[in-house]
Structure 1
Amino acid sequence: MYLFIYFCVGWKTICDATHEATCYVTLGQPAYVQLVATNTTYQMSLLKGNDRVFVFRRSKVTFQDSFNSTILKRWFFDSTNGTLLINPADKRDLGTYRVEIYDENTGTQTSNHNIQLTIKASPPTLSALCFNGERRVTCVSEEHNPQYSWSLAEGSTGVDLKLSTDNSTLSVRGDLGMTVACTVKTHSGMTSTSQTISPCPGISPVFISVWLAEIITLIALLVGGCYLYTTNSTPVMPGQKSRFLVLLLRT
């Protein structure tokens, strides 16, 4: 039977793996795993299958090159508090590990237990936009082969809903604001994100009035410009006064 217990130290969340445990880590983020209680003197080994991850003996930690190379070091073990750090956590870290602990003075094995390291699915992201009075909310997950599902908060009635073929986009018609939640299910687990979306902005009467006034002003300027251009471009015969000049004199 696997148990998973987490506790916080400062801003760090540490998985208690001093016994049989399942630890969930987020891809790309540091993972802290407590392997040993700190009030003992010990020697220990951590194995993944038949591969040895590291050995702690005589106050010295030795990692295998397949886990920590001279170029890339992601694994660290602090013997003073018995905590393992993986930074950043990677999909390759998924699996079952075995912890073997021995009393440093007598050499007697004091613990032999398994740890299941599971990658926690990262939460999806939501984005919303308006298109022809319709709100479209898109859910995006970086996980492999995600399965999308949606839920609405209570009281979200009087709206017309439509889903895309892969269920990743929700189209909403209605004049009410609402809170929607997208849930993503993958092999890594299930996680969700919620967001409150507002109605699409409509066209107000003030906007229509201003828009019509601008159109009328523009048409008046165009008509006036065409009239002046036509008047001034008409040839003036000898002895004939320019209608434009007469118009100016009268004004």
Structure 2
Amino acid sequence: MLFIFGLLLLLKPTVTCVEMFCRFNQTDPCYAALGHKLYLQMVTDARDQNLTLFKWIDNKIDGFINVKKNKISNEHESIKNRSEFIFNNGTLIINSVIRTDSGRYRLEIYDSTGTQTHDVNLPVIVEAPVGSVELSIICSGEMRASCSSEGDQLIFSWTLNGQELEDRNNIIHLDEETSGNITCTVNNHVSRGQKIISVNRCPVECSVSVVFVVVWSLEMMLLLTLLGGFHIYIKYCSTHTSGTTTATVTSHLTSTVTDSTSGHVVCSVSVVFVVVWSLEMMLLLTLLGGFHIYITYCSTHTSVECSLSVVFVMVWSLEMMLLLTLLGGFHIYIRYCSTHTSGRKQEEEIAL
């Protein structure tokens, strides 16, 4: 049985997206958030500068934008309706970044004589930002925390009651007794998302299984007593006949039925044997059947709760086995052996 809990939300999921500001003199790649703005600073001041920005498209370099004498020319078709250029800080702003904005850009700077003074490259990588963070706790034999979100190159981190956990996967395994606040943080190069939930130990539903074990054990022990009693009686008495007259002699815990005419013993049953045999068989059945049912219905729960259930089942089973053996075993014995005394009673009545 699988069930999910931890529905108490302490903090609404938060997602923070960074509008990336990149410079052509940086050594690291430039990351851009899909659907957001990208700032590409070419120079600190583009006034009176001659700049040409190229981009590799389909393995070919293509002119992207030209800046000359405070004017923009040859703006590439892919950014014509979603870009702007700030001259006083030399920054190209690309709005609503798309996947095809990824690629390698090349900036060339020329002096007033047309001589190239700078040539620098900058790789741009577009990533989808982190979406809404979903966090849930799952109990299925063990406690697990599962965190998910949309986005590219996701990195997961966890804290439990403020303490950072080493696991960096989106699913982590926790102790069954874990309780408190669990935080899942999801990052990539352009955004960050987080969600916190409060959890308690995995719930246990062994009470249903205990009821089933109790009912099943009661039925099976009654059946075993009946079958065992019949088996013992048939084994010891089936080959004999009562004859015309019989006599019954009881010595301690052994009952013997004797033919009054021939003096031969036709039935002898030890109550001790009945009790011991029944206890052994019922205990075996309880161990095999009861534990099988327990494992089937309780294996998903905590060891502490299940150990209490085992104690309860075992104590109850021993009490019920003893009671059923005393009641059922003696009842079966008396029922099937009492009829053999009729011959002796008749004989005594004739003698009188």
Q: TM-score range by the shorter chain?
A: 0.5 to 0.7
Following superposition, the deviation at residue 93 of structure 1 comes to 0.7
**Is this contact kept in 1: 2:107–2:118, CA < 8 A?**
yes
**Equivalent position SS for 1:198:** strand
- Give the equivalent residue in structure 1 for 2:241: none
Cα-Cα RMSD: 3.9
Matched, 1:62 2:70: no
Match of 2:84 in 1: 76
Match of 1:179 in 2: 182
User: For the Cα contact (< 8 Å) 1:21–1:114, is it kept in 2?
Assistant: no
The match for 1:98 is 106
CA distance in 2, matches of 1:31, 1:152: 32
Q: Does 1:139 align with 2:148?
A: yes
- The CA distance in 2 between the partners of 1:77 and 1:153, in whole Å, is 46
Give the match for residue 284 of structure 2: none
| Structure 1 position 180, deviation (Å) | 3.2
Amino acid at match of 2:151: E
Instruction: Tell me which residue corresponds to 2:52.
Output: 45
Whole-angstrom distance in 1 between the partners of 2:158 and 2:87: 47
1:86 to 94, 111, 114: 94
Alignment of 1:190-229 (within 5 A): 193-199=193-199
Check whether the contact 2:20–2:190 (CA below 8 A) recurs between aligned residues: no
After TM superposition, the score normalised by the length of structure 2 is 0.40
Q: CA–CA distance in 1 between the matches of 2:28 and 2:156?
A: 30
Q: What SS is found at the alignment partner of 1:111?
A: strand
Indicate if the aligned counterparts of 1:18 and 1:36 stay in contact, CA closer than 8 A: no
How far residue 129 of structure 1 moved from its aligned partner, in angstroms, is 5.3
- Residue aligned with 2:134, SS: strand
* 1:194 to 1:174, Cα distance in 2 relative to 1, 3 A: farther
Cα distance change on mapping 1:20 and 1:79 into 2, 3 Å: farther
Instruction: Using CA pairs under 8 Å that are at least 6 residues apart, name the structure with larger relative contact order, 1 or 2.
Output: 2
Q: CA deviation at 1:33?
A: 1.5
Structure 1 residues 32-89: Cα deviation after superposition (integer angstroms, max 9, x where no partner): 11101217631111000211111112322024443235xxx12222223210101011
What secondary structure, in the 3-state scheme, does the structure 2 residue paired with 1:67 have? Answer: helix
For residue 155 of structure 1, report the CA deviation from its aligned partner: 7.6
Distance 1:29 1:55, change over 3 A: same
CA contact (8 A) 2:106 2:119 kept: yes
- Return closer, same or farther for 1:21/1:136 CA change in 2, 3 Å cut-off: closer
Separation in structure 2 between the aligned mates of residue 12 and residue 183 of structure 1, nearest angstrom: 17
SS at match of 2:72: strand
The structure richer in strand per residue is 1
1-structure distance, mates of 2:72, 2:91? 12
Q: Secondary structure at the match of 2:195?
A: strand
Question: Which stretch of the first structure deviates more once superposed, 129-138 or 12-21?
Answer: 129-138
Amino acid at match of 1:56: V
Cα contact 1:140–1:168 (8 A) shared by 2: no
Q: Which residue of 1 aligns with 2:117?
A: 110
Alpha carbons 2:40, 2:92 under 8 Å: kept: yes
User: Shift in Å at residue 117 of structure 1?
Assistant: 1.0
Residues 191, 130 of structure 1: alpha-carbon distance in 2 compared, 3 angstrom cutoff: same
Structure 1 partner of 2:23: 16
Letter in 1 for 2:106: R
CA separation of 1:35 and 1:147: change in aligned 2, threshold 3 A: closer
* Alpha-carbon distance change, 94 to 180 in structure 1, aligned in 2, over 3 angstroms: same
Seen in structure 2, the aligned counterparts of structure 1 residues 136 and 43 have a Cα distance that, compared at 3 Å, is: same
CA contact (8 A) 2:19 2:37 kept: no
Percent identical residues: 24
Q: Distance between the aligned counterparts of 1:75 and 1:152, measured in 2?
A: 41
Query: Matched residues in 1 for 2:154 and 2:30: separation?
Result: 23
- Give unmatched runs, 5+ long, in structure 2: 1-17, 164-168, 204-352
**Partners of 1:169 and 1:23 in 2: CA distance:** 30
Q: What residue in structure 2 maps to residue 164 of structure 1?
A: none
Give the letter for the 1:14 counterpart.
Answer: F
Letter in 2 for 1:108: T
Question: What is the distance in 2 between the residues matched to 1:17 and 1:36?
Answer: 8
Instruction: Give SS of 1:36's match.
Output: coil
The residue type paired with residue 98 of structure 2 is: D
Name the amino acid aligned to 2:184: A
Contact 2:33 2:126 in 1 (8 A): yes
Q: Which has the larger radius of gyration?
A: 2
